Structure 1
Amino acid sequence: MLRLVLKQTLAHRGRLLLTFAAITLGVTFVVGTLVLTDTSREVFDDQFCDASTEVDIVIRDAVAFDAAMGIEVERDPLNSRLAAHTATLPGVSRAIPVVKGTGLLIADGEAIVPAGPSMLTSWTGVDGFTLRDGHAPEQLDEVVIDAATATAHDITLGDTVRVQADSEADLRVVGLVGFGDADGLPDTTVALTSLATAQRLLRLGDGISQISVIAADGTATSEVADRLRAELGTDVDVAASQDTAAASAAAAKSQLGFITGALLALAGAALVIGAFLIANTFSVLVTQRTRELAVMRAAGATGRQVMTSILGEAAVLGIAGAVAGTGAGLVAATGLRALLDAAGATVPDGPTVLSARTLVVALAVGVVVTLIAAFGAARRAARVSPVMAMREGALGTAGGRGRIRAGVGLTLTAAGVAALSVGGATESMPALGAGTAALVAGLVALAPVVAPAVVHLIGRGLSAVTGRSVPAGLAREAARRAPRRTGATVMALALSLALVVFVSVVGASVRAALQSGFDEAITAELVVESARGEMLGGLEPATREKIEELDEVGTVSPLRFGHWKDSGATRALTALDPATIDDVTHVDMVEGSLTDLSDGRDGVVITERQAVERGRDVGDRLAMTFARTGTVQVPVVGLIDDDDAKALSTDYLVSLASYRDWFTERVDATLLVRPSSGTTLDQAQTALEDALEGMPTVEVRDQASAAEARTASLDGILTLITAVLMLTVLIAMLGITNTLALSIIERTRELGLLRAVGMTRRQLRTMIRTESLLIAVAGLLVGTTVGVATSALFVRAIAQGGDLHLQIPTTGLALVAAAALVVGIVGGLAPARRAARLEVLTAIHEQ
């Protein structure tokens, strides 16, 4: 049986080529995603583990939780005297005070802005950094930088660089370091200074960030840690360095979770589209091999053996596609990284990691998807008796089974429409998701009935516009006579286009809502933000200080962001200045006022939707857990309109005074600026830009530019998703080409007869190309309808009753339509050329 399977697969390798390509593309995407994320995770693990190789224990300020949304929380500094005390305790060989923070490097007047962090830390000699050249920083005006940054920016020993942190200083480069075997950390600049210099630049006074402890020889780390906990109390966190490194790596790696999930979901979509192509291929091949299967049955093969042979061919094809896809996935990982970089979602690079898990997943995906897609054709072949199989074309679907399929399709479609209606009315995402899945499943089941009818109607409409044409009429009838094949091909393209349309419409609607909400709620003429787009800010206190000194500035109102825990879930909040916020915003309050946050007591303003969901009202208390303070019962002092809260970024608003109590971070995220009386917008903007010229990562924007910047990350993500979804459109095009190519083999005698009765080669090419175009237009109509309808309901659910109106991106949909037409035209070129080259007599005698 195995030899038979291999021979049959090789005998039909030309007909299976495009199917092999579809499997390969789907597996390539899966493998590329897994390789990319595994490589990045390995980089994080190595980075944090190498940083603690010589350190046994780390002592830091105690916090309620270590990280939120992939970012480690900032801790209060420790008193440097604690390091000296720790060094005297039993079992401690060394206790090294360490200062860490952010410090931007500026060389030759140009800021060095990496994709990742700009690290400033004090020199310890035990944190993974090793000298490559020069010596450690000893004087207050000395700095050591990583060799990678020095090479990339032509910095040599003796050069002077500026380090910009909470304060700034010009320092002389006295050494270059590597990190492990590498010249530096991925996507990071590193500046190492003396402890006193780091404290001065970060304005810590005599404070330190942590204490790195090295245990005495022969002393167990766990015993020393227990002694330190008992001696130092609960105000500090004492942890093994490997545990600290693992927690830091986990926080960094958690940011990859969304990226991995999104890319794998898109890869799944590509595989589903490819499954239609596989199913079509095996359905046509089984029909074409009717007599061959009859001989096998007549020779004694059972239905199970026939089914096994066909599934065996599918398994061989799946294995071959998985192997090819694995190789291509290693290359695709680089392309995916470039796409993510372009979308603003940088992931660290390192030596490629191809894990055993990835190989198993690739093989399983390739084989399982192919077997499932080929199962229907194999089952139909196995159910036909030897006598029936001797008849040409005996493997069509029986009427009973067709009626059952239609009944199942109608049931699923009705259930999908009902669930979508309920989801749209209740704004329930789970209901909308279930409804969409049921609708798609129903349409797939109904495809053999619906798709040919749609193609026929499109063909009639085309004939009415262009005039009757024999090739066009024959193309229409050919699509109608093969409902299963036409239905699968149309649905493959329809689903891929529906995904593109869905993303385009939802993205355009959210984008428009973000911009309009910002324009309506923010009245400040100028906005100062970090050009790096840090999640928790990026504007050092000196930024606000310089702006407030300008005569051209009337009001400066800062915004800060923070994370807190809500029964284990992570939430975000916005901190504002109640004294100035009304001068730069116009928000609608449902109850209370933002100034209620300024009466000297802690409080929170929440959105109306959160109040309803939580059953809270003004005067009630909300339990909020902060890393610095633990759980605090915060009184609700006001309710804000949901849409206006979006302009301030979160559903929870607190005062800057409360923020200072609950958070260690001291950087602003946004400064809303109103010019002073008598100062024009241009004068104020020029004054701001001049004052902040020495801060290269600070950007001054007018209101329109600031609103546009709010959607920059969204635009990047949408571009990434759309670019990846075009892979599914490519697979759908392969499906059209493959289906038409196989149908030409199936219709060889028919095509020969058409040529014999006078049809020219040109007319034959026109017929095949028209059939391809009709299928593409049908896929476009079905896909656009499904995409727009479902996206409209999802937009309503996203709005949650707020101001988020459906936006139809006409330019984007026009591009989708153009892509569908290109798919139809290109998909029919090769089959049309092949059909036109058939020899008439040979075709007529084809059996």
Structure 2
Amino acid sequence: MWHLTLRNVRAHAGRLRLTVLAVALAVAVVAGGTALTGASQRLLDAQFRTAAAGVDVTVRAAAAFDSAMGVEVDREPLPAALVDEVAAAPGVARVLPVVEGSGLLEVDGRAVVPTGASVLSSFAPAPFGAFVLREGRAPTRSGEAVVDVATARAAGVAVGDRVDLLTDGRSTVRVVGLVGFADGDGLPGATVVLVPLADAQRLLGTGEGFTELRVRTTTGTPVADAVAALRTRLGADYAVASGQDTAEASAAAAGEQLGSLRLVLAALSGAVLLVGAVLVANTFTIVIGQRRREIALLRAAGATSGQVTRAVLAEAVVVGAVGSVLGTALGLVTAEGLRVLARAAGSDLPEGRLGTTPAAVLLAVLVGVGVTALAAVGAARSAARVAPVEAIRASVDVVGGPGPRRGRATARAVPLVAGVVGLAAVAAGAPAALLAPAAIATVVGVVLNAAVVTPALTRALGAPLARAGVPGQLAREAAARAPRRTTSTAIALALGLALVGFTSVVATSLRDGLSGAYRETITADLVVESARGEMLGGLSPAVADRLRSVPQVEVASRVRYGHVLDGGTTTALAAVDPATLPAVAELDMVEGSVEALAGGGVLVAESLSTERDLHVGDVVRLTLSHAGVQELEVVGVVDSLDAQALSTAWIVSLDTYARHFAEDLDASVLVRTAGGVSADEARASVRAALADHPTAAVRDQAAAAQARGAAVDEVLGLVGVLLGLVVVLALLGVTSTLALSVAERVREIGLLRAVGTTSGQVGRMFRAEALLVAALATVLGLGLGVALGALTVSAVLGREAPLAVSLPVGRLAAVVLAAGVVGVVAGLAPARRAARTDVLTALAAD
């Protein structure tokens, strides 16, 4: 049977070409996504591990947790006297103090604004330093600096140039060298400037303190022993760890930013595999239907039903293996393309060669082969049911044949009913965790039962085609007469369009909800915030101080953010000035007041209050990054929509924040202009006052609100491009199924030609049928996707704060147009083949 399988694959290679291509594209996405995220994490691990190779132990101020949401938390400066104390510890050979913070580089009056951090640090010589000199020398005198190679290349900086450093003030330094980070040219998405230690202390305002001590142990002293001794000597106020542990923690913090990208790629890989599986299933179903007589002859010759089943599955394995090998080979090319798309969407990925591992290659091949084999199970079971007596009968059109028996129809209705009931329960308030299985069951149910409504839908959708002439009438009736064939042709495209509709509705609703909540709550005339969009802070406190001195500004109210652990989940906490916030924001209080924050305590969002039964006077326990576990009294409950405008469910005063957090950066400054000052005059005066702070973006309220949805638009752009691949796969599916159906309908074509239909009319009939299939897919797919998206928005995402469903009419209209183009393109090749069918050959066909 194995030799027979290989012979059948070779004999029907033309029919399986598009199926192999579909499997290859699907596996390429899986392999590319795995290669991108896996290689990026390996590059980060290698960079940080190499950078810490010369450091045995690190000493920093203690923190309740090292990092959160992909960002390492700030810590208190270490006292100068700690250097001598650490140096005197047993097993310590050398100690190097380091100061590190944020400093913006300005070249020829133009700020170099990276997507990530602007690192300013003291220079650490080998073996303590993570940065290796590539050109020039180390900075040894005040006013000297070295810059990372990647930044120097991008900004046009050379050794000997003078550049400006912007911290709380402006300093001019001379570049005396260029450095790389481990084996790379710099930190991913960041700029790096290294200066002498005294300059770093002065520029970053640490006084005589340091941010970290790097320790080398004496020869023969185990690192674990040195760590234990220093922990005992220094106590709980300091965090002592091995250099490699610190490097791994830093790499893990940087790697957290890969989490969302990994999730998006995994979801889209699943979608691509699903559409590919539908294409495989359709192809094998049709091919087996066309080979029923051949299979019956095998049965008559003694082949058992089990052997026939195994033969069909073996064919699927061969197709899957060939497609998977091709797809895996395309994986690295796909990974490079995905890296470009991810960077365009704002993800900071490390530079370096993307490679893969044998395990990743094996996984991609197994996934491709496994999905292909599973998709062919239905066709294999159908082939096993072919009776030997069919060898003397005409073949049966399996796809377009009679509908399922009553028992089978009832079984097919089960997932649809279960899914709809589950979705209704979620809409009525059931746990959100029920949404995913209910949605999957609904999608499966629609796929299994769509043929029931296909005749009515195709006749309705095909009415314009029928009025356009005979080919349109014939296409309409052919599609309605064979609902299972029509549905199987349309379903792959329908699934792709359902994903597009779902993501479009959810993303648009989120974007409009974030922007709308901000517009309704924030009444400030101007909003000053970091152009890089760092939620946790990117503005020096000097920005707010400078704004208060501007005559055109009446109120400048600061907003900060910090990390907290709440029940094991890391989230953000906002800090505001209760005295000035009411002048620039309207917070609707359910209980308590904003002014009550002046005495300490915390405001909580109404959704959180309802979930945990919190009221004014209750006490909550939160783990803060610097202060550890703290008990805060609830002094107010704020409307959930207003809390959403501040991007958090927890709000404290700036004074409370200062007592519990080490971070000293503002996220934004909300500005109310003085009476009688025009908007243009206020904006111009504020920008002039902040000339030394080029990353401080000055926006009016509308622009600030729009910026809240910018991140959603970036992710939506990435998802949209990747979903385009899903639609390409669906195009292959429609083309493949229509092409195979031409072979099924040879006799029908012959009869049409015999009664006077021209070859041109036959071609137009198949093109019209392809367009009708695309229309059916659009109705089923977009209808399902938009409905699930609307339910997700209103019943799940809207539980935290009211969130209206926004329909992206323009995008959906573009999708409908694109589906029409897909239908036209998909029908070209099958129509050409049908038009060229020889009349006598067609009439002689069984």
| Structure 1 and Structure 2 fold alike (TM over 0.5) | yes
Q: SS in structure 2 opposite 1:450?
A: helix
User: Which residue pairs with 1:405 in the alignment?
Assistant: 408
Deviation beyond 3 Å, 4+ runs, structure 1: 394-402, 480-483
| Contact in 1 for aligned 2:170/2:692 (Cα 8 Å) | no
| Contact in 2 for aligned 1:91/1:216 (Cα 8 Å) | yes
Indicate whether 1:457 and 2:455 are aligned.
no
Residue pairs, 1:613-762, within 5 angstroms: 613-762=611-760
Indicate whether 1:587 and 2:584 are aligned.
no
| C-alpha deviation, 1:301, in angstroms | 1.5
User: Which residue pairs with 2:522 in the alignment?
Assistant: 522
**Aligned to 1:295, which of 294, 297, 304?**
297
| Contact in 1 for aligned 2:774/2:822 (Cα 8 Å) | yes
Structure 2 unaligned spans of 5+:
none
Q: SS in structure 1 opposite 2:462?
A: helix
User: Which residue pairs with 1:327 in the alignment?
Assistant: 329
- Provide Cα deviations, 1:405-461, integer angstroms capped at 9, x if missing partner: 321232222222221111112164223323211211111111332334422332346
| C-alpha deviation, 1:389, in angstroms | 4.5
Letter in 1 for 2:722: V
User: Which residue pairs with 2:810 in the alignment?
Assistant: 811
Residues in 2 aligned to 1:796 and 1:532: alpha-carbon distance in whole angstroms: 31
| C-alpha deviation, 1:178, in angstroms | 2.3
- Provide Cα deviations, 1:329-373, integer angstroms capped at 9, x if missing partner: 211111112212222223223111211232122111111111111
Letter in 2 for 1:213: V
| Contact in 1 for aligned 2:607/2:801 (Cα 8 Å) | no
| C-alpha deviation, 1:731, in angstroms | 1.4
| Contact in 2 for aligned 1:409/1:441 (Cα 8 Å) | no
| Contact in 2 for aligned 1:388/1:394 (Cα 8 Å) | no
**Aligned to 2:164, which of 153, 162, 172?**
162
| C-alpha deviation, 1:82, in angstroms | 0.5
Moved more, 763-772 or 480-489: 480-489
Moved more, 361-370 or 151-160: 151-160
| Contact in 1 for aligned 2:188/2:349 (Cα 8 Å) | no
User: Which residue pairs with 1:250 in the alignment?
Assistant: 252
Residue pairs, 1:157-556, within 5 angstroms: 157-394=159-396, 396=398, 402-426=405-429, 428-460=431-463, 462-463=465-466, 466=467, 469-556=469-556
Q: SS in structure 2 opposite 1:15?
A: helix
Residues in 2 aligned to 1:519 and 1:87: alpha-carbon distance in whole angstroms: 55
User: Which residue pairs with 2:138 in the alignment?
Assistant: 136
| Contact in 2 for aligned 1:409/1:445 (Cα 8 Å) | yes
Residues in 2 aligned to 1:234 and 1:505: alpha-carbon distance in whole angstroms: 50
> What count of residue pairs does the alignment treat as equivalent?
842
| Contact in 2 for aligned 1:489/1:732 (Cα 8 Å) | no
| C-alpha deviation, 1:484, in angstroms | 2.9
| Contact in 1 for aligned 2:166/2:692 (Cα 8 Å) | no
Gap change, CA 1:61 and 1:551, over 3 Å in 2: same
Residues in 2 aligned to 1:333 and 1:29: alpha-carbon distance in whole angstroms: 8
User: Which residue pairs with 1:795 in the alignment?
Assistant: 793
| C-alpha deviation, 1:145, in angstroms | 1.4
Residues in 1 aligned to 2:514 and 2:39: alpha-carbon distance in whole angstroms: 35
Q: SS in structure 2 opposite 1:248?
A: helix
Q: SS in structure 1 opposite 2:614?
A: coil
Residues in 2 aligned to 1:231 and 1:804: alpha-carbon distance in whole angstroms: 54
Residues in 2 aligned to 1:801 and 1:65: alpha-carbon distance in whole angstroms: 26
- Provide Cα deviations, 1:666-709, integer angstroms capped at 9, x if missing partner: 10001100112332221111011111122221110011111111
Residues in 1 aligned to 2:241 and 2:351: alpha-carbon distance in whole angstroms: 29
| Contact in 2 for aligned 1:337/1:346 (Cα 8 Å) | no
- Provide Cα deviations, 1:293-320, integer angstroms capped at 9, x if missing partner: 1222222211111111111111011011
Letter in 1 for 2:538: G
**Aligned to 2:761, which of 760, 763, 766?**
763
Residues in 1 aligned to 2:194 and 2:743: alpha-carbon distance in whole angstroms: 71
State the TM-score, normalized to the length of structure 1.
0.97
Residues in 2 aligned to 1:652 and 1:179: alpha-carbon distance in whole angstroms: 38
Letter in 2 for 1:713: A
State the TM-score, normalized to the length of structure 2.
0.97
User: Which residue pairs with 1:576 in the alignment?
Assistant: 576
Residues in 2 aligned to 1:315 and 1:782: alpha-carbon distance in whole angstroms: 31
- Aligned-pair identity in percent equals 48
Residues in 1 aligned to 2:773 and 2:579: alpha-carbon distance in whole angstroms: 63
| Contact in 2 for aligned 1:423/1:432 (Cα 8 Å) | yes
- Provide Cα deviations, 1:508-527, integer angstroms capped at 9, x if missing partner: 22222222221111111000
Gap change, CA 1:669 and 1:18, over 3 Å in 2: same
Gap change, CA 1:576 and 1:677, over 3 Å in 2: same
Moved more, 198-207 or 266-275: 266-275
Gap change, CA 1:35 and 1:471, over 3 Å in 2: same
User: Which residue pairs with 2:93 in the alignment?
Assistant: 93
| Contact in 2 for aligned 1:167/1:203 (Cα 8 Å) | no
Gap change, CA 1:389 and 1:267, over 3 Å in 2: farther
Residues in 1 aligned to 2:502 and 2:433: alpha-carbon distance in whole angstroms: 17
User: Which residue pairs with 1:72 in the alignment?
Assistant: 72
| C-alpha deviation, 1:710, in angstroms | 0.8
Residues in 2 aligned to 1:605 and 1:187: alpha-carbon distance in whole angstroms: 35
Q: SS in structure 2 opposite 1:696?
A: coil
Moved more, 712-721 or 154-163: 154-163
Residues in 2 aligned to 1:145 and 1:807: alpha-carbon distance in whole angstroms: 46
Residues in 1 aligned to 2:808 and 2:385: alpha-carbon distance in whole angstroms: 49
| Contact in 2 for aligned 1:118/1:189 (Cα 8 Å) | yes
- Provide Cα deviations, 1:750-786, integer angstroms capped at 9, x if missing partner: 2122112211011101110111111111111112221
- Provide Cα deviations, 1:515-568, integer angstroms capped at 9, x if missing partner: 222111111100001111113110012222221221111100011111101121
Gap change, CA 1:133 and 1:735, over 3 Å in 2: closer
| Contact in 2 for aligned 1:18/1:738 (Cα 8 Å) | yes
Letter in 1 for 2:706: E
